[in-house]
């Protein structure tokens, strides 16, 4: 909830007992980032274990297509950054198609997802959305037909999207998340940002960014200082550029409709011709998970139950809630998405 879920945080902000602490209470994290955060908050190392998820690849039917198909096998919630997928589609070769697995329904309302669907249709982008909701068979057929996987997500917990392609021997392209992918062997042709010149964006961006930053802090019952604001703006606009993935949705649409990015077109063309690398996937097998879990249990003594104390939840929040980690797509969503602009 501290990691970009302010609405959830508000439900529990009054609680001081969220993280119980005692010799018989152990924690397991699915990535080393969260493990480090808990340790920094004061959790003893012997009570904190790294336990990455197991992956069981599906059995797929034979491919029935010869076209270049780039598949994003996720539910299209806001942090999956569908605007960046539209940007890639706008710069892809004419023979390339894209597909997204599912519409957003459970984690958040579907309006932002649907707004991108309408935008893609309006600008004739080669993307099919929600291909798997009515037919699981079509989802698995699309997995088989896909020539590439893509990720444009700006935040992950475990990072299944980065490992699924390796299990299926498919190339992966898209956005890297180093704090998550550092747990894996290098796989895929990935970028860490798509730089957009600051002069190509509206002048009010600074005001909007700092106002959104302040509101985000307020949603966690915190305040941001003027010094933090200036530091945040300087980091956000390094080298007079802004990462496309950290723009509000209406400005993402502005860039897609008003600016062509030759460097992105060239990168995408090269990425589509890069074969998948070979990595050892056994560390994420069910057998490896079982062995790791047994080792954790074996390392835990049976101490007498003692009185619980608690980690200070502010020590965890403070590691997630920093100006440098602020992201427009992790704030409370707008109530009504903006209308897509027309191409001039």
Looking at residue 86, which CATH number applies to its domain?
A: 3.40.50.2000
Decide: 251 and 202 in contact? Cβ < 8 Å: yes
Do 115 and 79 share a structural domain? yes
The residues, ordered by sequence, that sit 6+ positions from 49 with a Cβ below 8 Å of its Cβ are 26, 27, 28, 29, 35, 296
Q: Looking at the domain assignment, is residue 215 inside a domain? A: no
Do 103 and 90 share a structural domain? yes
The whole model's pTM is what? 0.93
Do 306 and 276 share a structural domain? no
Do 163 and 145 share a structural domain? yes
Domain limits at 290? Answer: 17-54+285-311
Do 138 and 265 share a structural domain? yes
* Tokens describing residue 242: 């802004």
Distance of CA 251 to the CA centre of its chain: 19
Q: Rounded to 5 degrees, what angle do the CA atoms 321, 326, 327 make?
A: 135
In whole angstroms, how far apart are CA 296 and each of 28, 51, 74, 299, 324? 9, 9, 31, 5, 34
CA atoms within 13 A on the CB side of 40: 13
CA atoms within 13 A on the CB side of 183: 24
Question: What is the tally of structural domains in the chain?
Answer: 2
Do 103 and 28 share a structural domain? no
Q: What is the pLDDT along the chain (344 residues), one digit of tens a residue?
A: 788 888 888 888 889 999 999 998 999 999 999 999 999 999 999 999 999 999 999 999 999 999 999 999 999 999 999 999 999 999 999 999 999 999 988 667 799 999 999 999 999 999 999 999 888 999 999 999 999 999 999 999 999 999 999 999 999 999 999 999 999 988 999 999 999 999 999 999 999 999 999 999 999 999 999 999 999 999 999 999 999 999 999 999 999 999 999 999 999 999 999 999 889 999 999 999 999 999 999 988 887 778 899 999 999 999 999 998 999 999 877 665 444 444 33
């Amino acid at each position: 909830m501290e990691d970009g879920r302010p609405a959830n945080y508000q439900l529990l902000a009054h609680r001081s007992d969220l993280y119980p602490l005692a010799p018989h209470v152990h924690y397991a994290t699915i990535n080393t980032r969260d493990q480090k955060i808990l340790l920094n908050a004061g959790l003893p190392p012997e009570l904190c274990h790294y336990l990455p998820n197991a992956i069981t690849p599906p059995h797929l039917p034979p491919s029935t297509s010869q076209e270049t198909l780039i598949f994003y096998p996720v539910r299209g919630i806001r942090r999956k950054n569908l605007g960046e997928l539209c940007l890639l589609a706008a710069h892809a070769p004419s023979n390339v198609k894209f597909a997204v697995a599912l519409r957003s329904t459970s984690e958040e309302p579907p309006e932002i997802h649907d707004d991108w669907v309408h935008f893609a249709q309006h600008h004739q982008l080669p993307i099919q959305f929600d291909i798997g909701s009515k037919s699981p068979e079509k989802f698995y057929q699309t997995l088989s037909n896909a020539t590439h996987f893509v990720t444009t997500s700006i935040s992950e917990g475990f990072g299944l999207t980065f490992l699924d392609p390796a299990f299926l021997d498919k190339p992966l392209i898209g956005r890297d998340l180093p704090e998550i992918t550092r747990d894996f062997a290098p796989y895929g042709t990935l970028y860490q940002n798509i730089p957009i010149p600051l002069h190509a964006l509206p002048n009010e961006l600074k005001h909007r960014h700092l106002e959104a930053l302040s509101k985000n802090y307020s949603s966690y019952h915190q305040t941001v200082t003027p010094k933090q604001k200036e530091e945040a703006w300087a980091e956000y606009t390094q080298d007079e550029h802004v990462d496309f993935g950290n723009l509000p949705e209406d400005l993402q649409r502005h860039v897609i409709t008003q600016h062509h990015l030759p460097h992105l077109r060239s990168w995408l063309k090269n990425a589509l011709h890069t074969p998948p690398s070979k990595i050892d996937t056994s560390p994420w097998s069910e057998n490896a998970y079982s062995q790791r879990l047994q080792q954790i249990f074996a390392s835990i003594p049976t101490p007498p139950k003692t009185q619980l104390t608690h980690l200070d939840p502010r020590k965890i929040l403070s590691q997630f809630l920093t100006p440098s980690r602020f992201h427009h797509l992790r704030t409370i969503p707008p109530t009504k998405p903006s209308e897509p602009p027309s191409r001039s």
